[in-house]
Structure 1
Amino acid sequence: MRANGRTRTSTSPASSLGTLRNLGILAHVDAGKTTLTERILFAAGAVHKRGEVHHGTTVTDYDPQERDRGITIFAAAVSCTWAGHHINLIDTPGHVDFSDEVERSLRVLDGAVAVFDAVAGVEPQSEAVWRQADRHGVPRIAFVNKLDRAGADLDTAVASIRRRLGVVPLVVQLPIGREGAFAGVVDLVTMRALCPQSGSAGIAPGAVPEALREEAGQRRRLLEETVAELHTGAFEEFCAASALSDSTLARALRELTLRGDGVVVLCGSAYRDRGIEALLDAVVAYLPAPSDMPPVRGTAGGAEQERAPDPAEPFAALAFKVTTVAPGRLTYLRVYAGTLRKGATVLDAATGRTERVGRILRVQADRHEDREEAVAGDIVAVIGLKSARAGTTLCAPGAPLLLEPPTVAEPVVSVAVEARRNADTGRLATALARLAEEDPSLVVRSDPETGQTVLSGLGELHLEVAAEKIRGGHGVEVVAGRPQVSYRETVVRGVTGLVHRHVKQDGGAGQFAHVVLDVEPLEEPVFAFRSTVVGGRVPQEYARAVEAGCREALAGGPLGGHPVTGLRVTLTDGATHSKDSSEMAFRAAGRFGLREALRLSTMELLEPVVEVTVTVPDDGVGGVLGDLAARRGRVSGQASAGGTAVITATVPLAELFGYASRLRGRTQGRGVFTTRPAGLAPVPASVAGGLSAR
């Protein structure tokens, strides 16, 4: 640790893959992600004035809606240098409605810093983003923030990390002072106190305060014992010497982090600039460089291939974000292999189209700086690509490689939108198309019955932000209807041996397909298809056509035209005609046959449900519980401490519209709530009847 933590930012490429870090900041709403990002940029010398969320002066929350609402909505990329390492950092949203932004960011990151509130510990959305990072195998370190708050306690927060996330926390710091007296930290790896220098920026390493020496020694011993249990090399040294050297401990902590066997935990207060330099040192010391990551895997010609993170390899990159700004249409790329130069021609591996890269930009939130090239490991934005979308693989034309795109969350809430003035209808269509291009979790469709344009997204706030973006960014006044949830239909009891014959003869070549289908329910909300036909009665290519037809039939079920899920279709038998059978005929047989089977099956309506966590004063618990019950909520947990109650319940999403205003009214503005998706649940018969009537 250096006495003066300030260094100047450099926008030049990292000298090697080993000195590059690509990381994200993950957390629940209001855990302090954006403030932490601002302090990191300030400590590294990338900015010369601390931005504040409540003043609307932060670098990463530059969108007017973010500044007005005081939350992060769009993932923002920034960069800085620290201790000779170049750090690309993405500040991600913490609200559940924008979890797709987190998903796309995690797809291209090598590591992450998970931020936790020292008072609240692991909150619902911090748990959700942790699970997202698990799916992508992203190594993480934890930062327990806001230790200066009343009620803050590092040990309680760490206990919640261990309990709720199921990980082994490796606490490497001890706070100096509690709550308002929090002054710095003791680094348990080097056994030095890290406190701000009086009258200057940066920190001053010094001796551990006398009052904390015994506790620091005990915690260092506990850390060594935990690491020795998890790391073979550390275990051998611990057995031989009954202790670990600082270098062995640091090396073991890095290896455990990369393997995901333990999570290094640091602490501090971003708002008061406590623990920031130590966190940056931990990013450099423990999180992986691109060279630590395995070769990226993709497909080419139907075969799996690997490409190493080497600038000399053929170029391969994944587009993870598209946005339109003043310089033009920006496509954000993570370069996995090779070198991309300004003016180069790249191949869209999925469509086979080639495009020319006009400019390469190093992005600093809403500011951009031109680069001549980007190399393996870099995260940059490019201008000039007209058709690339989030999830598009770009590669060298002579060496195609298709990478797995990020998954896109399925929309659960819809609103009908229309232009307030008829003259703006065309501009609204253009604005909606651009929104869907920039955010794949927004889906635009036309309702076949009403002719209305329907916009679907991940929540009320998601759709509110989209509508405001149309108004502010495109100058189109829109009128949005009441939000509607996306229902699903599923099979409760299926049918066996459904026979469907598709015969059509209009002169010339006819159509003939004969299929026998079994339909059965599945517990998971997915569709599965299999063929058990023997003897070649239905050739394999026709069986695939039947599956394609069945998937088309899933678009609308018999209860109310909602998409169908949670079923398996088995093709058990069939017959063909020597002249009139074709893939088109069997596709039609699959489509019409499954529709008939669904009409004969016992069906059930499903609705999206969410887990709601409500925090209210103790005197407001009764009213909140009554209101949740009226909204068909099922309370699953309730705890109280310090005059505040936390209630957890599962509630149908359709019943939560307008809940924020109702909760504020019932609790005099003191109640807050968060949600996270909890899957699908059957709609009660009494409610389902009302929906059918509508």
Structure 2
Amino acid sequence: MDLRNIAIIAHVDHGKTTLVDELLRQSGAFREGQAVAERAMDSNDLERERGITILAKCTSVEWKGTRINIVDTPGHADFGGEVERILSMVDGVCLLVDAAEGPMPQTKFVTSKALALGLRPIVVLNKVDKPDAEPDRALDEVFDLFAALDANEDQLDFPHLYASGRSGWADEDLDGPRKDLSALFRLIVNHVPRPRQQGRVDEDFTMLATTLSADPFLGRILTGRVETGRLKTGATVKALSRMGQPIEQFRVSKIQAFRGLGQQPIEEAVAGDIVSISGMSKGTVSDTIAALAVDEALPAQPIDPPTISVTFGINDSPLAGRDGKKVQSRVIRERLMREAEQNVAIRVSDTPGGEAFEVAGRGELQMGVLIENMRREGFELSISRPVVLTREIDGVRHEPIEEVTIDVDDGYSGAVIEKITGPRRGEMTEMRPAGAGKTRIVALVPSRGLIGYHGEFLTDTRGTGVLNRVFHGWAPWKGAIPGRRAGVLISMEPGQSVAYALWNLEERGRLFIGAQEDVYQGMIIGEHSRDNDLEVNPLKGKKLTNIRASGKDDAVVLTTPTRFSLEEAIAYINDDELVEVTPSAIRLRKRYLDPHERKRQARAAE
């Protein structure tokens, strides 16, 4: 069968997964009357809740005798480790751009990877039926973006379509019939080249593993594109590392191809096919699966280095072990190692003592998703504040810089610019009106300056601002960046909080807990209104006497406490504080060091 392999690229919430739903529906992948969930490709619970694609997933549709393998790529740069490998499997990309917002930072990140690989893009201007859509402006911005990313002449001469993924139509003209997606199917078949591998069917079998998954019955499953030759079920092959060193020999127990939303077993895979194979025990992502006669590994895409690290430790608070079942450091280490094996953008290393683990990754969102998945699996953890990783370049200390794109109402732009270019050491590179009373600000800001800024940004913009960020590069160390100015309120007693005590503490600052909640000594229960930490007693009840009062007591009415999300809590804490994460609670606490560690830090400071 005629074959095409294509990846769909888009910024977060530009409608990529919704468009794939319509491609599946109109190609006949679903039977008539079949109940299919909205955003069918977002199979992960977290993806559905947050409305973002975290894991790259493959699907396959048939259109007039052509099989089209479609790869849904993550839209966020924190999950870029997936993107870089996935693009090596395809021969073309479909770039989806919101006609109102235009190309955004995550679009730029993934598109730069695709253009560097020489892939010719198709541009789809989505949501052109929105009242604030400006498709012509968005198209000009896409061309400018390609030119800025050093696209060649073939890539700059890209075809484009106007579409509405939710309504299920795409047309070559803005005033087209708006009936279905046949124009997009036609363009994919005519513009995306056939896999070049199809002419190398008679060579020895090779395949580059791009994603790893697990099945309770099949064990490890590696997915990738067959580069050369054929592979039959039951054949004996070997796995080679990126350096060409042999890892293991194994018998292929099953070959599966993507058909619609599911996978079907097939007897033989040929060059150009995207398939999943099982049977290996050690082979992993970026390894080459090859016939026994092959000694040379396929080139694997280099992965951008991690930019932040977080320390994962056991939960050693007085409330440890009440919620979760997985609390031992050994179990936490096994889970983190398993994650690092599947996700090449994450690095895990042991800390001295072996009770905690240093996890390095791309960004706060990637760390937040990992921690959220672990707490749902029953883990209890203590998490440190993210630390930015630095590197030495020509003897000079460099730190990661991020490109920040902000859309904000005109009235709030001054406050945003002051915060970014002042204490957070950013440099503004562009500022222009974005229409509808909004201003677009583009700035280069150290990653350190963005830790904990998002909550402050929402406060400054009254919740109306939109902030997007993407890794830009490395630059010399920018100097000190002030952290959180306010101190915290720390519980001095263990027990259950009392409404009367919290009512009296409200004048000291904002609270993070309500009445009748478990607290312990050292737990952070609120933010102090001043810059110093304050120990308080949230258990102190009202003194009762046997003297009757002339009037009845005033009812205690508490202000609704501030509740942090996981990412907000991690960004809020200081270096001497921890986030306690359990399946049902997120708490903040002070990190109390043992005497030996305190002496060691004091000597280091001297």
- Common fold: TM-score over 0.5: yes
- Specify which of 189, 202, 207 is matched with residue 312 of structure 1: 202
Match of 1:667 in 2: 461
Match of 1:605 in 2: 397
Match of 2:490 in 1: none
Contact 1:607/1:681 (CA < 8 Å) preserved in 2? yes
Match of 1:23 in 2: 6
Match of 1:336 in 2: 227
Match of 2:193 in 1: 288
Q: Secondary structure at the match of 2:164?
A: coil
1:631 equivalent in alignment to 2:424: yes
Q: Deviations over 1:331-369 (max 9, x none)?
A: 102101111111111122333221121111123587332
1:615 equivalent in alignment to 2:596: no
RMSD across aligned C-alpha pairs, in angstroms?
2.7
* Distance in structure 1 (CA, Å) of the matches to 2:441 and 2:213: 39
Provide closer, same or farther for how the CA distance between residues 339 and 361 of structure 1 changes in structure 2, counting only shifts above 3 A.
same
* Distance in structure 1 (CA, Å) of the matches to 2:430 and 2:245: 49
Match of 1:273 in 2: 168
1:90 equivalent in alignment to 2:38: no
* Distance in structure 1 (CA, Å) of the matches to 2:466 and 2:432: 15
Q: What is the Cα deviation at residue 604 of structure 1?
A: 3.5
* Distance in structure 1 (CA, Å) of the matches to 2:125 and 2:33: 20
Residue type matched to 1:318 in 2? L
Contact 2:327/2:381 (CA < 8 Å) preserved in 1? no
Q: Secondary structure at the match of 2:370?
A: helix
Residue type matched to 2:245 in 1? T
* Distance in structure 2 (CA, Å) of the matches to 1:385 and 1:323: 12
Q: Secondary structure at the match of 2:190?
A: helix
- Specify which of 447, 451, 475 is matched with residue 657 of structure 1: 451
- Specify which of 339, 342, 356 is matched with residue 435 of structure 1: 339
* Distance in structure 1 (CA, Å) of the matches to 2:162 and 2:33: 20
* Percent identity (aligned): 32
Contact 2:313/2:355 (CA < 8 Å) preserved in 1? no
Residue type matched to 1:647 in 2? I
* Distance in structure 2 (CA, Å) of the matches to 1:620 and 1:163: 28
Q: Secondary structure at the match of 1:411?
A: coil
Match of 1:323 in 2: 213
Q: Secondary structure at the match of 1:406?
A: coil
1:143 equivalent in alignment to 2:33: no
1:492-531 equivalences in 2 (<5 Å):
none
- Structure 1 gap ranges (5+): 1-14, 169-229, 231-255, 296-307, 490-565, 568-602
Match of 2:289 in 1: 394
* Distance in structure 1 (CA, Å) of the matches to 2:34 and 2:366: 25
- Specify which of 100, 105, 120 is matched with residue 119 of structure 1: 100
Q: Deviations over 1:145-195 (max 9, x none)?
A: 110112212221221122221199xxxxxxxxxxxxxxxxxxxxxxxxxxx
Q: Secondary structure at the match of 1:81?
A: strand
Match of 2:114 in 1: 133
Residue type matched to 2:407 in 1? T
1:363 equivalent in alignment to 2:253: no
Q: Secondary structure at the match of 1:137?
A: coil
Q: Secondary structure at the match of 1:128?
A: helix
1:546-557 equivalences in 2 (<5 Å):
none
Provide closer, same or farther for how the CA distance between residues 684 and 285 of structure 1 changes in structure 2, counting only shifts above 3 A.
closer
Q: Secondary structure at the match of 2:14?
A: coil
Residue type matched to 1:288 in 2? P
Contact 2:9/2:95 (CA < 8 Å) preserved in 1? yes
Provide closer, same or farther for how the CA distance between residues 389 and 144 of structure 1 changes in structure 2, counting only shifts above 3 A.
same
* Distance in structure 1 (CA, Å) of the matches to 2:68 and 2:104: 27
- Specify which of 356, 359, 369 is matched with residue 465 of structure 1: 369
Match of 2:174 in 1: none
Match of 2:158 in 1: 263
* Distance in structure 2 (CA, Å) of the matches to 1:130 and 1:400: 33
Match of 1:475 in 2: 378
Q: What is the Cα deviation at residue 634 of structure 1?
A: 1.5
Provide closer, same or farther for how the CA distance between residues 338 and 153 of structure 1 changes in structure 2, counting only shifts above 3 A.
same
Q: Secondary structure at the match of 2:200?
A: coil
Q: What is the Cα deviation at residue 413 of structure 1?
A: 0.9
Residue type matched to 2:425 in 1? R
Contact 1:51/1:58 (CA < 8 Å) preserved in 2? no
Q: Secondary structure at the match of 1:625?
A: helix
Contact 1:23/1:87 (CA < 8 Å) preserved in 2? yes
Q: Secondary structure at the match of 1:402?
A: coil
Q: What is the Cα deviation at residue 419 of structure 1?
A: 3.0
1:242-253 equivalences in 2 (<5 Å):
none
Contact 2:61/2:259 (CA < 8 Å) preserved in 1? no
Contact 1:56/1:70 (CA < 8 Å) preserved in 2? no
Residue type matched to 2:311 in 1? A
Q: Secondary structure at the match of 2:21?
A: helix
* Distance in structure 1 (CA, Å) of the matches to 2:447 and 2:8: 28
Residue type matched to 1:462 in 2? Q
Provide closer, same or farther for how the CA distance between residues 163 and 261 of structure 1 changes in structure 2, counting only shifts above 3 A.
closer
- Structure 2 gap ranges (5+): 171-180, 316-320, 483-573, 576-603
Q: What is the Cα deviation at residue 658 of structure 1?
A: 2.2
Q: What is the Cα deviation at residue 478 of structure 1?
A: 2.2
Q: What is the Cα deviation at residue 311 of structure 1?
A: 2.6
* Distance in structure 2 (CA, Å) of the matches to 1:313 and 1:59: 37
Q: What is the Cα deviation at residue 605 of structure 1?
A: 2.5
* Distance in structure 2 (CA, Å) of the matches to 1:326 and 1:464: 26
Q: What is the Cα deviation at residue 50 of structure 1?
A: 11
Contact 1:77/1:363 (CA < 8 Å) preserved in 2? yes
* Distance in structure 2 (CA, Å) of the matches to 1:42 and 1:167: 36
* Distance in structure 2 (CA, Å) of the matches to 1:488 and 1:663: 29
Q: What is the Cα deviation at residue 437 of structure 1?
A: 0.7
* Distance in structure 2 (CA, Å) of the matches to 1:83 and 1:284: 10
Q: Deviations over 1:562-611 (max 9, x none)?
A: xxxx23xxxxxxxxxxxxxxxxxxxxxxxxxxxxxxxxxxx533211101
Residue type matched to 2:57 in 1? A
Return 42-51 or 64-73, whichever deviates more.
42-51
Provide closer, same or farther for how the CA distance between residues 651 and 281 of structure 1 changes in structure 2, counting only shifts above 3 A.
same
Q: What is the Cα deviation at residue 263 of structure 1?
A: 0.7
Provide closer, same or farther for how the CA distance between residues 670 and 50 of structure 1 changes in structure 2, counting only shifts above 3 A.
farther
Residue type matched to 1:44 in 2? S
Q: What is the Cα deviation at residue 616 of structure 1?
A: 0.9
1:46-195 equivalences in 2 (<5 Å):
46-48=29-31, 57-166=38-147
1:486 equivalent in alignment to 2:376: no
Provide closer, same or farther for how the CA distance between residues 325 and 655 of structure 1 changes in structure 2, counting only shifts above 3 A.
farther
* Distance in structure 2 (CA, Å) of the matches to 1:488 and 1:266: 43
Residue type matched to 1:441 in 2? A
Provide closer, same or farther for how the CA distance between residues 50 and 477 of structure 1 changes in structure 2, counting only shifts above 3 A.
farther
Across the two proteins, how many residue pairs are aligned to each other? 459
Match of 2:489 in 1: none
Q: What is the Cα deviation at residue 57 of structure 1?
A: 3.1
Contact 2:128/2:164 (CA < 8 Å) preserved in 1? yes
Q: Secondary structure at the match of 2:398?
A: strand
- Which one has a larger percent helix, Structure 1 or Structure 2? 1
* Distance in structure 1 (CA, Å) of the matches to 2:61 and 2:68: 5
Residue type matched to 1:341 in 2? K
Contact 2:402/2:444 (CA < 8 Å) preserved in 1? yes
Match of 2:28 in 1: 45
Residue type matched to 1:430 in 2? E
Match of 2:236 in 1: 345
* Distance in structure 2 (CA, Å) of the matches to 1:96 and 1:140: 19
Contact 1:310/1:376 (CA < 8 Å) preserved in 2? yes
